[in-house]
Chain A
Amino acid sequence: MITFEYVGLRYGIGPEVLSDINFTLEPGSFHFLTGPSGAGKTSLMRLMYLAHLPTRGIVRMFGENVVTVPRSKRMEMRQKIGTVFQDFRLLPHLSAFDNVALPLRIAGRKDHEIRNNVNELMEWVGLADYMHALPNTLSGGQQQRVAVARAVVAKPRLILADEPTGNLDDKIGARIFKLFEQLNKTGTSIVVATHNLNMMREFRHPCMILDGGAMRIEHLGQRTSDLVDKLREAF
Chain B
Amino acid sequence: MAKAKGSLGKAKTRQYDLPFQKDIGTRYMTTVITLMVFLGFLCAALGLTLHAINTRWTTGLEGKMTVEIPAQGIDQSLRERDALDAIAQSVIAEFQNHRFVRKIEVISQEAMTDMISPWLGERQNYADLPLPVLISVEVEGTLGEKDLLTLQNAVVSIDAASRLDTHKDWLAELLRFTGAIKLVALVMGIVITLTTLMAVAGVVRARLAAHMADVELLHLMGATDTYIARQFQGHILGLSLRGCLIGAGMGVLMIKGIGWVAGQLGFILMPDFAITMSSWVMLCLVPIAIIGLCFVTARATILNALKDMP
- Mark A residues whose CB is within 8 Å of B: 49-51, 53, 71-72, 74-81, 83, 89, 91-95, 98, 102-103, 105-107, 129-130, 132-134, 136-139
Contact = CB atoms under 8 A, between A and B. Distances in A.
Given A106-B221, A133-B4, A91 B9 contact: no
Give the secondary structure class of B's interface. Answer: loop
B220 A51 contact: yes
A93 B4 contact: no
Given A49-B220, A139-B2, 11 more contacts: A50-B220, A75-B223, A91-B17, A91-B217, A92-B19, A98-B17, A103-B222, A105-B17, A107-B222, A129-B4, A133-B11
Contacts of A71: 307, 310
A35 to B, nearest CB: 23
Contact of A94 (B4, B11, B307): B11
B9 A103 contact: no
Contacts of B14: 94-95, 98
B10 A102 contact: no
B99 interface: no
A132 B22 contact: no
Contact of A130 (B4, B214, B216, B224): B4
A136 B126 CA distance: 88
Contacts of B218: 102, 106
A130 B17 contact: no
Contacts of A139: 2
Nearest to A137: B9
Nearest to A83: B220
Contact of B222 (A78, A91, A129, A136): A78
B146 interface: no
A53 to B, nearest CB: 7
Interface in B232-287: none
Contacts of B5: 129-130, 133
Contacts of B8: 137
A134 B11 contact: yes
Nearest to A95: B11
Interface residues of B, number: 29
A134 B10 contact: yes
Contacts of B129: none
User: Of A53, A79, A95, A136, which is in contact with the most chain B CB atoms at under 10 Å from its CB?
Assistant: A95
B227 interface: yes
A78 B219 CA distance: 8
26 contacts: A51-B216, A51-B310, A71-B307, A74-B310, A75-B219, A78-B219, A89-B213, A91-B18, A91-B217, A93-B19, A93-B22, A94-B14, A94-B17, A95-B11, A95-B14, A98-B11, A98-B14, A102-B17, A102-B218, A106-B221, A130-B4, A133-B9, A134-B11, A136-B9, A137-B3, A139-B2
A105 B221 CA distance: 10
A109 B9 CA distance: 27
B1 interface: yes
B310 A53 contact: yes
B21 interface: yes
Contacts of B214: 91
A75 B224 contact: yes
B214 to A, nearest CB: 6
Contacts of A77: 222
Nearest to A127: B4
A137 to B, nearest CB: 3
Contact of B1 (A80, A130, A137): A137
B220 A76 contact: no
Contact of A132 (B2, B10, B17, B217): B10
A74 B194 CA distance: 36
A129 B10 CA distance: 12
Query: Which residue, of B8, B222, B310, has the highest number of chain A Cβ atoms within 10 A?
Result: B222
Contacts of A138: 2, 4
Interface in B170-228: 213-214, 216-224, 227
B222 A133 contact: no
